[in-house]
């Protein structure tokens, strides 16, 4: 075999699973949350805030011994300019995917279907001055991507990232990200002092406490940053949490005169589920 062919084989090992990407780093935050980074397929283009299907090969079928991919929707938590892809994940102890995914190691392969979609994108909103990101739990993932995208700061004068979780340890991923942003050599100058971070817990004593819905309604968030009430002319919102959270924030937006937008019809706020409800799994496999 010629040296050239040998070089090509060494440079591009054949993936053992379809659409394989290699895990490059992992951080565990507590017993139920972790983040990890993987290699990015060269052809993958996405808009910050979109999600893809990722997963692992499932267990072999007892009758046929064949393995099928076990895939779930995941927001890409890294910005669109990053050479790797980052994900922020729950660990559901009896969850078909995350009971296994939580044990991945650097060098392992995961499946990543390179078909990004989603409504939490800047294009789905009409131009405005101020944007609120409202999220709970792992719902911060799409905003972890957006707050690292220079386009966000070109489009908005003020960015308010709110994150509500039950416990303090669940805030670490977002808090670390925000703390390092201003000094980031690539994005720091765009962020300047435009990003305001408002993190709360609901079941453990911390600096700020309470449900984001209450804090939006009673004006505490506005008071802290000296902001006027929500106004469809100037304010935009993106929401990502449980179905209950999404519906409650949608109600707050609509009560303030804001209209829900989408990719095909941009408007004043957009909503996406951070996960599918209790015991239900949606099939997004396109």
Interface residue with ligand A2P, options 116, 128, 137, 261 (CB under 6 A): 137
User: 249: how many CB neighbours lie within 10 A of its CB?
Assistant: 25
Q: Which is nearer to ligand FAD, 124 or 141 (CB)?
A: 141
CB of 152 to ligand FAD, least distance (A): 18
CB of 221 to ligand A2P, least distance (A): 13
CB of 74 to ligand FAD, least distance (A): 4
The order of strands in the sheet holding 269-273 is 195-201, 158-165, 130-136, 235-241, 269-273
Interface residue with ligand FAD, options 17, 26, 57, 90 (CB under 6 A): 90
Q: Which is nearer to ligand A2P, 109 or 248 (CB)?
A: 248
By CB under 6 A, residue 102 contacts ligand A2P = no
* Binding span for ligand A2P by CB under 6 A among 6-14, 208-216, 223-231, 251-259: 208-216
Pair 109, 23: CB distance under 8 Å: yes
Q: Which residues from 104-123 bind ligand FAD, rule CB under 6 A?
A: none
Name the H helices within 108-148: 141-146
**Residue 114 — φ and ψ, nearest 5°?**
-80, 55
**Residue 223 — φ and ψ, nearest 5°?**
-65, -45
Q: Which residues from 224-283 bind ligand A2P, rule CB under 6 A?
A: 242, 244-245, 248
Pair 10, 3: CB distance under 8 Å: no
Query: Strands 20-30, 109-117: parallel, antiparallel or unpaired by DSSP?
Result: antiparallel
């Amino acid at each position: 075999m010629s040296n050239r062919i040998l070089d090509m084989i060494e440079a591009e090992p054949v993936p053992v699973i379809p659409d394989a990407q290699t895990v490059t780093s992992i951080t565990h935050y507590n017993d139920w949350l972790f983040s990890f980074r993987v290699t990015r397929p060269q052809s993958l283009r996405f808009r910050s805030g979109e999600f893809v299907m990722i997963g692992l090969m499932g267990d072999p079928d007892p009758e046929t011994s064949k393995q099928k991919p076990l895939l779930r929707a995941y927001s890409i938590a890294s910005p669109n300019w990053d050479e790797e892809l980052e994900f922020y994940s729950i660990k559901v102890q009896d969850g078909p995917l995350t009971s296994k995914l939580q044990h991945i190691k650097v060098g392992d392969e995961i499946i990543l279907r390179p078909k990004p979609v989603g409504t939490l994108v800047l294009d789905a909103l009409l131009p405005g001055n101020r944007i609120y990101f409202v999220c709970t739990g792992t719902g911060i993932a799409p905003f972890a991507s957006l707050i690292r995208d220079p386009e966000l700061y070109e489009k908005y004068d003020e960015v308010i990232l709110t994150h509500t979780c039950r416990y303090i340890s669940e805030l670490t991923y977002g808090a670390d990200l925000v703390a390092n942003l201003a000094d980031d050599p690539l994005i720091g100058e765009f962020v300047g002092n435009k990003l305001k971070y408002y993190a709360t817990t609901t079941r453990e004593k911390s600096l700020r406490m309470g449900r984001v819905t209450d804090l939006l309604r009673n004006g505490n968030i506005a008071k802290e940053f000296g902001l006027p009430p929500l106004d469809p002319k100037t304010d935009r919102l993106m929401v990502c949490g449980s179905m209950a959270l999404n519906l409650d924030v949608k109600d707050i937006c609509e009560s303030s005169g804001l209209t829900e937008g989408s990719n095909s019809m941009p408007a004043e706020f957009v909503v996406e589920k951070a996960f599918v409800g209790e015991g239900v799994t949606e099939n997004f496999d396109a």
